[in-house]
Amino acid sequence: MTKERLLAGSHFRKNKGSSIGIFCLMLLASMLLSLAMILFTDTYPTAAKEADRLDGGDGMMYVSSKTLKIDDAYLSDLLEGTEEYELEKALYYPLINLPFGSSEMENTVKVCRMESMMAKTMARTEIAEEDSSISGDYIYLPYQFKTSGGYHVGDEYHFSISGENYDLKVKGFLNTVYGGCNNSGLYEICVSDEVYEKMLSRIDEAGESSFVVFKLKDDVKMGEFRIRVLNQLKTDDNLANVSLQPISMYISSRTFMSLIIAGSFLAVTILVVVVIILMIVNSIGNYVKENMKTIGALKAIGYTSRNIKGSVLMMFLALALIASVFGIAVSYLLAPTVSSVVIAQMGVPYSVSFSMIATITAFATVVLLTVLVTLLSLRRIKKIEPIVALREGVESHNFKTNPIKLDKSVFGLDASLSLKTMLHNKRQNIITFVVTGFMVFICVIALLMFENFNRNPKITLMMSETSDGAVVFDKDTWEEGYEFLSSQEGVSNIRRYHEDSIYVGQEDSLYLMVYEDPTRKNNTDVCYKGRLASHENEVNVSGKFAKQNGYKIGDEITLNLGGREYTYLISGFIQSLNNDGHEAIMSEEAASHILDLESMPTSFFFDTETDEQIDTILDACEAKFGEKMVTRINMLKSIEAGMITFKGIATLMLVMMCLISALVILLVLFLLIRSLVFSKRKDYGIYKAIGYTSRSLILQTAGSFMPTIILSVILFAVVSYFIANPYLQFIMINFGLMKCTFTIPIPGVIIIGVAMILLSFAIAVLQARRVRKIEPYQMLIAE
């Protein structure tokens, strides 16, 4: 062992530069892997743990009814099968706009009193931050308003509900199980008693709504329980506004974007690890080549292949061990920054804790892969005969060919010599090709995310329908509302729709969107396969739901609601990121078989000539109909607010991916050119002696990598352009996105490609400047 240790030390001293380069790559790999695993393993469990800590139960139901008396007597029958439940009375506002940062966030809002909120024993609300000295008209906002909306305790907060303006002061932020994130479809806020009373006085006769958190008995299935309860509520009050969702749906919707980031991060890390493996293989190959004489001498004096291999392995193992420890440490230093974006999206107060799985995975992956590829690469040492090694591997009998003949080459002298160098260094160029290609792919994916989640949000893939605005009128007002809306200046393309939950058998449910005529929808892309339902017996169901349950286009499906059922023909599949990918679309005519549309609030989507007209029209409707207009939505503002967290994530992804790509290319070219210059130092000395300038040799060296890099960039840019959507589809299929048609801006791809080529050339030239240090005279006398 002492022999090997001494040799390992000698190897390191002799190959300090490339060892440090490999060390940096190993550090980068362990850091990225640890970071990705921290996110991947910690995000959902953190949200789940948080829900568990706050006794979130198994699900939450809310009921807003003008006729039903929701009390313990009613609930004890309705909620048969629960182990325990807790009822809270609060105000319920379906889909209202709350100011969020510089925009507005559209969400359903639950407004609570401080006393009842703090008295809860299930799904407890925790105050994440507050200033208890603030009194008067105050408000506690969800924690996401701080992390993503940029609000602070003590800020002024103004909003308007049902035509009434509220000017409040932010007293604190809440950490809640069910109402903390825009993606989970509910915001829970708390206001001072005076404000609460004022709001209550302006709400219609339904008054306070009922929010029930429940825990099921072990033998009760959530699906069956949910459908039974919702059907019972529909039977008891057909007009009741009800929702019942399992806690898993809230947690999933809260964490899905975080998981996408973590997944993307993991994918990038895998690519980087592949690059590192290639670099280790290359480095060992170079090591053997450059130390051929030493290996020969060692073998000649009696060292076995095992001794020599052991010493090289020891060096790489030591590098891997130290690099992975440092890499993991750095990942924990960076984790708060990366997780801040995740926190902003989740709205859960969360600090990164030590993750044993992430640490072990990162450590073991880097160390074991290093050992494995080192051992595999070192197999050639066994085959080296001492005499060949002492001749530095020069074999008198070989079958080299000369594909670039200087007298026949169509290129200039420098270009021809560059090509010769390129062909002579096939392995290095293959590595460069693969690495550059991977990095182009990563950057194209990041560009896609930036373009579709930030610059020009691809709304058609995220929402069932697109419009400039939407209004919801109660069942008695919608006809008058429609006429008024139609008469407004600038309004066009008014589309009527209704929505409700429907059921498939006794366990599955679908969120149904009923359009007057689905084929008139703005967003017909929502139907990615087949066609939109247009006849009275047709329905579109989500692809995710269809896949889970084995439905095909043309199959029949029986849907039920409130004791009515009807069998429909599936005419096409739709995709959606909402409602856990469980949605359905049908026409009003088809819906009439199971729904009483007349008794439901009616919504209208509309478009306007200018963006400024949206609020004017909504204000006019609100002024005219007051409380009879149930909801108003400025879709553009709502989308803008909804995209805030996505934008941050997309920008972070683009910046990180570009930085990682630049860093990887820098390190790879550093190592490859360094070893190239070292292995060709004699040739460079000869070239210089016969009159080649350093400038010419630098350009030749850098240029020898450029054809590969340019080819790789072009090829992978084209390939990435075509496979980026299928790749994302593969990742997002579980979230309900079955066919990705994200836009990939060609100018952006070209910019990435050109930037990568220029960056690579600049790095290659800078690194090839080492040639300047080679003095022909020193090289000659050294021999």
Partner 1 sequence: MNEIIKTQKLCKTFSNGGVQQHVLRNIDLSIYEGDFTVIMGASGAGKSTLLYALSGMDKPSLGEVTFAGKNITKGTPDDLAVFRRKNCGFVFQQTYLVDSMSVLDNVLAAALLIEKNKKKASAKAKEVLKSVDIDETLWNKFPTQISGGEAQRVGIARALINDPKLVFADEPTGALNSTTGKDVLDVLTKANENGQSIVMVTHDITSARRGNRILYVKDGEIAGECQLGKYVSGDKERHLKLRDFLGGMGW
Q: What are the residues binding partner 1 (CB under 8 A)?
A: 394-398, 400, 402, 405-409, 413, 417, 420-421, 424, 682-683, 685-695, 772, 775-777, 780-781, 783
State how far the Cα of 286 lies from the Cα of 673, in Å rounded to an integer: 12
Q: Which is nearer to partner 1, 565 or 775 (CB)?
A: 775
Would you say 219 and 83 are in contact if contact means Cβ atoms under 8 Å apart?
Answer: no
Shortest CB 294 distance to partner 1, Å:
20
Residue closer to partner 1 (CB basis): 73 or 690: 690
What are residue 499's DSSP bridge partners?
Answer: 513
587 forms beta bridges with: 515
As a whole number of angstroms, the distance between CA 759 and CA 190 comes to: 53
d(CA 566, CA 553): 17
List 583's β-bridge partners, or say none: 511
CA distance 542 to 553: 11
**Residue placing its CB nearer to partner 1 in the complex, 3 or 695:** 695
Q: Which of 252, 316, 332 is nearest to 33 (CA)?
A: 332
Cβ proximity to partner 1, 302 vs 403, nearer residue: 403
CB nearer partner 1, residue 512 or residue 676:
676
Residue among 231 and 700 whose Cβ is closer to partner 1:
700
Torsion angle (degrees, nearest 10) of CA 531, 535, 536, 539: 0
CB of 698 to partner 1, least distance (A): 10
Q: Measure the CA–CA gap between 393 and 292, rounded to whole angstroms.
A: 7
Instruction: Decide if 96 contacts 189 (C-beta within 8 A).
Output: no
| Closest CB 729 distance from partner 1, rounded Å | 46
Between the alpha carbon of residue 420 and those of residues 412, 426, 430, the distances in Å are: 12, 10, 15
- The closest alpha carbon to 58, from 254, 242, 282, 221, belongs to 221
Q: Which of 402, 452, 367, 380 has the alpha carbon at shortest distance from 651?
A: 452
Angle at 363 between CA 264 and CA 664, to 5 degrees: 50
d(CA 597, CA 666): 63
Identity of residue 777 = Y
Q: Which of these, 461, 437, 456, 432, lies nearest to 747 by C-alpha position?
A: 456
Minimal distance, residue 404 CB to partner 1, in Å: 8
CB of 694 to partner 1, least distance (A): 6
**395 vs 483, beta carbon nearer partner 1:** 395
| Nearest-approach distance from CB 772 to partner 1, in angstroms | 7
Identity of the residue, 121 or 396, whose beta carbon is nearer to partner 1 in the bound complex: 396
> CA–CA distance from 559 to each of 223, 407, 503, 506, 570 (Å)?
15, 79, 6, 10, 11
Q: How far is the CB of 422 from partner 1 (least distance, A)?
A: 11
- Measured in residues, the chain has a length of 783
Residue type at 379 in one-letter notation: R
Q: How far apart are CB 775 and partner 1 at their closest, in Å?
A: 8
Pick between residue 392 and residue 489 the one whose CB is nearest to partner 1: 392
Strands 138-142 and 241-246, by their bridges, are unpaired
> Nearer Cβ to partner 1, position 692 or 716?
692
For residue 407, the minimal CB distance to partner 1 (Å) is: 4
Q: What is the C-alpha to C-alpha distance for residues 368 and 382, in angstroms, rounded to an integer?
A: 22
Specify the residue, 156 or 407, whose C-beta has the smaller distance to partner 1. 407
State how far the Cα of 176 lies from the Cα of 50, in Å rounded to an integer: 9
- For partner 1, give the closer residue by CB, 302 or 691: 691
523, 554 in Cβ contact below 8 A? no
Inter-CA distances, 47 with 54, 335, 349, Å: 11, 17, 10
Q: Which is nearer to partner 1, 411 or 722 (CB)?
A: 411
Using alpha carbons only, how large is the chain's radius of gyration in Å? 33
C-beta of 64 vs 416, nearer to partner 1:
416
Least Å distance, CB 410 to partner 1, is: 9
Dihedral pair phi/psi, residue 180, rounded to 5°: -115, -5
Residue 397 C-beta: closest distance to partner 1, Å: 8
Smallest separation (angstroms) from partner 1 to the CB of 21:
24
Distance of CA 457 to the CA centre of its chain: 14
Closest distance of CB 777 from partner 1, Å: 4
Cα separations in angstroms, 375 against 24, 294, 309, 315, 317: 20, 19, 8, 12, 11
For residue 285, the minimal CB distance to partner 1 (Å) is 17
Strand pairing category for 180-181 and 209-216: unpaired
Whichever of 417 and 737 has its CB closer to partner 1, that residue is: 417
Minimum CB–partner distance for residue 382 and partner 1 (Å): 24
Tell me, what DSSP letter sits at residue 451?
I
